Amino acid sequence: MKCFGTLAVSLALFQLAGCSDGGSMSASPAPVTNDAQYELPPVVNPGGVSGLNYTPSYIARFGITGENGMRGGGPNIWRVEEGQDGPAGGGAETCCIGIPEVWKPDMKVTIRWEAAKVMDGKTPGVHYMAEARIPQYARETAGMWAIFLPGDRVKVMVRDGNANGRNSLDARPTDDDPYVAQGVVDEEAERKAAERRRKNAEGTATARRRIAKQREAEAMEETGDRATELRREAVEERRQADVVEANAAEAEALLAQLLEREAAARRCKHDASQASADCPEGKAR
């Protein structure tokens, strides 16, 4: 059988019996391919990140991470004031986060946020985290939303015209909504925040004491009113250094008290056997 280089039929569809002038040689079988190797990567569309807040706590910041490089941060959201009708937020959007074009079951994200629960200018915010399932959404999307609810709960959804009835922003999520996730204190974030506060306070106090020392040195070379003024400035710088350190210590103590109250409230909520004296009315969440 003769073979021609101009054979027009695809070798992928036909197997030649042989190719020689006199003898016979069987053609090698076509290689087996794995279709999984040729699957296209999922399409990820950019979208903004927004939020609604139904709590009396100021949401200082929040961030969302998920699969396929899904990562984005949302804006700060003011708290709900007493007597306010409806949630706070919804007016700001941060760009951007990657939203897979096709939803799949059990799609999850991790959301971390900081909530300022005591607006006294001293108590630091508390860091929380939750793993939230994403409700089913359609291909056409309008950004990702975080909805913060009392009790340190949160729902994360992709707005898409209310596909499957789970992505509406018009109504507060119900308590039995299966996509509402319970947040817990993010201990790692709390540790890092405490370290930053301590370093900042230490740096500020050290800088003020350094200035005080400089003023005293300058006063040694001056006389009269100028020397007196420099010494007064040195005393004030040392006083401010002491204030910074005292405020930092007070902030840590206030935060520790807040976290302990929250832990006690949760114990009361999940343990009906707790004595009423240990569970003041209104503190359980």
Neighbours of 268 (CB within 10 A): 20
Q: Could you give the 3-state DSSP secondary structure of residue 179?
A: coil
- 156 and 221, same structural domain? no
In this structure, the answer to whether residues 159 and 217 fall within a common structural domain is no
The reported pTM is 0.76
Q: Is the peptide bond before 96 cis (omega within 30 degrees of 0)?
A: yes
Q: How far is CA 208 from CA 1, 199, 205, 214, 241, in A?
A: 97, 14, 5, 10, 6
DSSP state of 229: H
Q: What is the pLDDT of residues 34-68, one digit of tens each?
A: 555 556 667 888 899 999 999 999 999 999 999 77
Domain end: 153, 185, 217, which one? 185
Do residue 179 and residue 236 come from a single domain?
no
Query: Residues 159, 266: one domain?
Result: no
Secondary structure class of 44 (helix, strand, coil):
strand
**Residue 3 domain flag:** no
230 and 247 in a single domain? The answer is yes
Residues 87 and 158 in one domain: yes
Please indicate, yes or no, if residue 243 is contained in any of the structural domains: yes
* 14 part of a folded domain: no
Q: Which of 185, 214, 229 is the endpoint of a domain? A: 185
Residue 89 sits in the same domain as residue 119? yes
Q: Please give the C-alpha separations between residue 254 and each of 39, 261, 264, 285, in angstroms, as whole numbers.
A: 54, 11, 15, 20
Q: Are residues 131 and 196 in the same domain?
A: no
Number of independent structural domains in the chain? 2
Is 13 inside a domain boundary? no
In a domain, 12, yes or no: no
Do 84 and 161 lie in one domain? The reply is yes
Residue 11 covered by a domain: no
Q: Are residues 215 and 169 in the same domain?
A: no
pLDDT tens, per residue, the chain with 285 residues: 444 444 343 433 334 334 334 444 344 455 545 555 556 667 888 899 999 999 999 999 999 999 777 899 999 999 999 888 899 998 888 988 999 988 999 899 999 999 999 999 899 999 999 999 999 998 888 899 999 999 999 999 999 876 666 788 888 999 899 999 999 999 999 999 999 999 999 999 999 999 999 999 999 999 999 999 999 999 999 999 999 999 999 999 999 999 999 888 888 876 655 555 556 544 433
Tell me if 261 is assigned to some domain. yes
Q: 90-110: b or e for each residue (b if 16 or more CB lie within 10 Å)?
A: beebbeebbbbeebeeebebb
Answer yes or no: do 235 and 142 share one domain: no
Strands (E), the chain: 44-53, 58-66, 71-74, 88-89, 94-100, 108-116, 126-133, 144-149, 153-158, 180-182, 184-185
Rounded Cα–Cα distance for residues 18 and 3 (Å) = 8
> Tokens 């939203």, residue?
99
Q: Which domain holds residue 196?
A: 189-272
User: The tokens of 83 are what?
Assistant: 């007597």
Residue 66 CB partners (closer than 8 Å, separation 6+): 107, 108, 109, 110, 134
Domain-ending residue, one of 163, 185, 207:
185
Q: φ and ψ at 64, to 5 degrees?
A: -125, 135
First-to-last CA distance in the chain? 86
Please check whether residue 252 lies inside any domain of the structure: yes
- The confidence score (pLDDT) of residue 24 equals 40
Closest CA to 65 of 32, 35, 110, 103: 110
